C-alpha cells in the first residue's frame, strides 16, 4: 500500500484538496494569532508584531531576499521598545541588539517576580521567579508593571510611547490592575515591537474552511486521540494546546503520530 506523505511546492493545498488527497490530515500550525495592543497610535509606521520582525530577520539570515512589497524592519541606531516580557520579547531584544539598536527598553505589564522563592507558586508548581535570558543579559532596560496607554508620531511614523505604572491587587481569585496616579511618562521611540503573547491558532483559512470546533480559548478542540471535530483531521502542538513550549510540542507530535497510525490501521483492513 502506498501512502502520499507530502505535496509538491506550488501544489494547491486548499482544505478541500487535502481532504480528497489524504486519508488523514494533522494540523500543526502553531498558535499564530498575536495579542494586539489596541491603543491610539497602534497603526503608526514602525509598530510591528514581534513575529513580523523576527521571521523577517530569519529569512534574511537564510539568504532570502525580501519581496519589493515588504519593508525591512531594522533596529539599527533606533530606540526600540519591546512590549511584553516573555520569550518572544527576549528574541526581539537579541535581534535588535545584533542589528545595532541605540537603546532597547522592555515593558512588562505584570509585576516583577521575586528573585528566589515565590509563595504564589509553592512546590510542586513551576516556580514563577525572576528569569533573565541571555538576550536580556546582553543589555536592555527592563521595566515591570507598566501599561502602554498610547503611541504618538511625527507624521505617520511612531516617535513617542506614553505609559504609566500599574498596581496589581488581588480580589478573591482575581487580580485587578489599577493605574498609579501621577506615574504617567512619555519616552522617545523609533521602533515598537509587540510581543505580548499569542491568543490561539489562526482561524482564518484552514481552521475555518475545515469547519473545526474550537475550545473556549480559541484552540482547535481535540479528543484523546488528537482527532478534531472532523473525522480524519487531527491537530497537535500549539494549535490544539495554545501557545506553549517546544517540549510539549515534541511530545504532542509523537503522540499524535502514533494516534493517527492507530486510526489509519483501523480504517483499512
Ligand atoms: C518568538 C518565540 C520564541 C519562543 N521561545 C521559546 C523558548 O525559548 N522555549 C520554548 O520552549 N518555547 C518557545 N516558544 C514556543 C515554541 O516555539 C512553541 O511552543 C512551539 O514551536 C510550538 O510548536 P508547533 O509545532 O505546535 O508550532 P510552531 O513551531 O509554531 O510551527 C507551526 C508552523 O506551521 C506553519 N503554518 C501555519 N499555518 C500554516 C498553514 N496554513 N499551512 C502551512 N503551514 C502553516 C507556521 O509558519 C509554522 O512554521 C517561542 C515561541 C515564539 C513565537
Distance CA 16, CA 249 (A): 26
* Residue to probe by mutation, ligand 1, list 245, 248, 254, 257, most atoms within 8 Å of CB: 245
- pLDDT over 80 (residue 109): yes
Distance CA 43, CA 32 (A): 20
- pLDDT over 90 (residue 179): yes
Distance CA 145, CA 262 (A): 49
The overall average pLDDT reported for the chain is: 94
- pLDDT tens digits along 46-97: 999 999 999 999 999 999 999 999 999 999 999 999 999 999 999 999 999 9
243 CA closest ligand 1 atom index: 19
Cis status, amide bond into 124, omega within 30 of 0 = yes
221's grid cell: 478542540
152, 151, 132, 148: which is closest to 140 by C-alpha?
132
Q: Is 252 in the pocket of ligand 1 (CB under 6 A)?
A: no
In sequence order, what are the residues at sequence separation of 6 or more whose Cβ sits closer than 8 angstroms to the Cβ of residue 265?
none
* Residue to probe by mutation, ligand 1, list 6, 196, 246, 247, most atoms within 8 Å of CB: 246
Work out the pLDDT band at 38, boundaries 50, 70, 90: very high
Which secondary structure element, helix H or strand E, spans residue 259, and what is its range? helix 246-267
248 CA closest ligand 1 atom index: 19
pLDDT of residue 117: 85
Q: For 64-175, where are the alpha helices, taking DSSP H only?
A: 87-99, 134-137
195 CA closest ligand 1 atom index: 1
**Domains annotated on the chain, with CATH:** 15-32+203-267 (3.50.50.60), 36-196 (3.50.50.60)
pLDDT of residue 120: 84
- pLDDT tens digits along 216-269: 999 999 999 999 999 999 999 999 999 999 999 999 999 999 999 999 999 866
Q: Is 30 in the pocket of ligand 1 (CB under 6 A)?
A: yes
Do 234 and 256 contact (CB within 8 A), yes or no?
Answer: yes
Distance from residue 242's CA to the centre of ligand 1 (Å)? 10
249 CA closest ligand 1 atom index: 23
In sequence order, what are the residues at sequence separation of 6 or more whose Cβ sits closer than 8 angstroms to the Cβ of residue 78?
96, 101, 102, 190, 191
Distance CA 194, CA 186 (A): 18
Strand 198-200 to 146-154 pairing: unpaired
Q: Is 245 in the pocket of ligand 1 (CB under 6 A)?
A: yes
Distance from residue 28's CA to the centre of ligand 1 (Å)? 9
pLDDT of residue 1: 46
241 CA closest ligand 1 atom index: 26
pLDDT of residue 9: 62
- pTM for this model (two decimals): 0.89
Closest residue by Cα to atom 10, ligand 1, is 245
* Triad 115, 120, 123: Cα angle to 5°: 85
97's grid cell: 541588539
Amino acid at each position: 500500500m502506498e501512502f502520499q506523505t507530502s505535496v509538491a511546492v506550488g501544489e494547491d493545498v486548499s482544505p478541500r484538496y487535502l481532504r480528497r488527497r489524504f486519508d488523514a490530515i494533522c494540523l500543526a500550525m502553531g498558535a499564530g494569532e498575536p495579542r494586539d495592543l489596541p491603543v491610539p497610535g497602534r497603526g503608526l509606521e514602525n509598530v510591528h508584531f514581534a513575529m513580523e520582525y523576527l521571521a523577517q530577520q530569519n529569512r534574511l539570515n537564510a539568504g532570502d531576499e525580501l519581496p519589493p512589497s515588504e519593508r525591512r524592519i531594522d533596529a539599527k541606531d533606533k530606540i526600540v521598545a519591546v512590549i511584553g516580557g516573555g520569550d518572544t520579547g527576549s528574541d526581539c531584544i537579541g535581534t535588535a541588539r545584533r542589528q545595532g539598536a541605540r537603546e532597547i527598553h522592555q515593558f512588562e505589564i505584570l509585576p516583577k517576580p521575586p528573585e528566589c522563592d515565590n509563595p504564589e507558586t509553592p512546590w510542586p508548581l513551576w516556580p514563577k521567579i525572576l528569569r533573565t535570558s541571555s538576550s536580556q543579559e546582553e543589555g536592555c532596560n527592563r521595566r515591570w508593571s507598566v501599561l502602554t496607554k498610547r503611541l504618538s508620531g511625527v507624521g505617520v511614523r511612531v516617535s513617542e510611547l506614553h505609559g504609566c505604572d500599574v498596581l496589581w491587587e488581588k480580589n478573591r481569585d482575581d487580580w485587578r490592575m489599577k493605574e498609579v496616579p501621577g506615574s504617567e511618562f512619555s519616552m522617545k521611540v523609533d521602533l515598537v515591537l509587540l510581543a505580548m503573547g499569542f491568543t490561539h491558532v489562526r482561524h482564518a483559512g484552514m481552521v475555518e474552511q475545515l469547519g473545526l470546533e474550537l475550545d473556549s480559548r480559541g484552540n482547535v478542540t481535540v479528543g484523546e486521540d488528537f482527532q478534531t471535530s472532523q473525522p480524519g483531521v487531527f491537530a497537535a502542538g500549539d494549535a490544539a494546546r495554545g501557545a506553549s513550549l517546544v517540549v510539549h510540542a515534541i511530545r504532542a507530535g509523537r503522540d499524535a503520530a502514533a494516534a493517527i497510525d492507530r486510526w489509519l490501521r483501523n480504517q483499512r483492513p
